Amino acid sequence: MSTDTPQPPQQQTPPGRQSAMTPVPDCGEDSYVGTGRLAGKVALITGGDSGIGRAVAIAYAREGADVAISYLDEHDDAEAVAEQVRAAGRRVLLFPGDISVAAHCRDIVERTVAEFDRVDVLVSNAAYQMSHETLEEISDDEWAFTLNTNVSAMFYLVKAVLPHMPSGGAIIGSSSVNSDMPSPTLAPYALTKAAVANFCASLAQLLGERGIRVNSVAPGPVWTPLIPSTMPEEKVANFGADTPLGRAGQPAELAPAYVLLASDDGSYISGARLAVTGGRPVL
């Protein structure tokens, strides 16, 4: 796993393609070794085509889970993940589409259950962000889309999944270090990530009596397509260099946290927020 930083300046059109990044993020394709901790489980992962979601999908498959992957329209990246899941001997479903739309969220849950009978693990990971130097630059439509993609989608998905999630199930939301240390140029995104952490804490209390655990992961700067597709080149080039560890994280370095929270190793962890930030504090 490379620890070199910074990355060369680069930009893409949102939502970005992992295959077009330099360097290509490490999602554990050549390094993650499973030990059967999710054997027989069914996982639904949003944003599973690239970045953190891709690393989680690969790790879950190698831990023994069948995987359903939601993504927007990055078909080549999604198929590359599907090949990794199949190579691990597990079944995979691919669901392109916009999770900011409630009906689509319900549809992907219904289709997952129709194929796999249930959902043991829900990972609400997909997110949208865009950098803006002033508040006036943020359109009403972008504000609404950011909240719907990052927060409302999780509500839609959880509500749809609950009738099909047995006791022992796990729900994991992707929060961010921005929830506590908000970047002023990412104000809508930072707000949504605080909301994800708060929603997970509420759900942990609501769903504990059903035997369902709910937690969030708070990543720091991680090298994913979100970065070159939503930040100016000069910020991309130095992304992650200001962390105590001096570099951006790789998606593969996040996957073990999501495995812990989905597996029996985390059987008494609920209502927690697990920080994987390269040393940046999360309160």
Predicted confidence (pLDDT) at residue 2 exceeds the cutoff of 90: no
Taken in order 204, 219, 23, 4, is the CA torsion positive or negative? negative
Relative to beta strand 273-276, strand 213-219 is parallel
Burial label, 142 (beta-carbon count in 10 A; 0-12, 13-18, 19+): middle
Distances in Å between the alpha carbon of 273 and those of 68, 88, 172, 276?
24, 29, 10, 10
pLDDT per residue as tens digits for the range 74-118: 999 999 999 999 999 999 999 999 999 999 999 999 999 999 999
pLDDT per residue as tens digits for the range 28-65: 999 999 999 999 999 999 999 999 999 999 999 999 99
Q: Is 189 a residue of the active site?
A: yes
Element holding 1 (H helix, E strand):
none
3-state secondary structure 48-117: CCCHHHHHHHHHHHHCCCEEEEEECCCHHHHHHHHHHHHHCCCCEEEEECCCCCHHHHHHHHHHHHHHHC
Q: Using DSSP, state whether 218 is helix, strand or coil.
A: strand
Tell me the average pLDDT across 190-199: 97
Q: How many Å apart are CA 192 and CA 183, to the nearest integer? A: 12
Catalytic residue among 71, 128, 189, 258: 189
pLDDT per residue as tens digits for the range 108-163: 999 999 999 999 999 999 999 999 999 999 999 999 999 999 999 999 999 999 99
Specify the residue for token string 């620890």.
3
CATH number assigned to the domain covering 34-276: 3.40.50.720
CA atoms within 13 A on the CB side of 109: 25
CA angle 186, 188, 192 (to 5 degrees): 110
Q: How many Å apart are CA 13 and CA 181, to the nearest integer? A: 26
> Tokens for 227?
């970065």
Specify the residue for token string 């999710």.
38
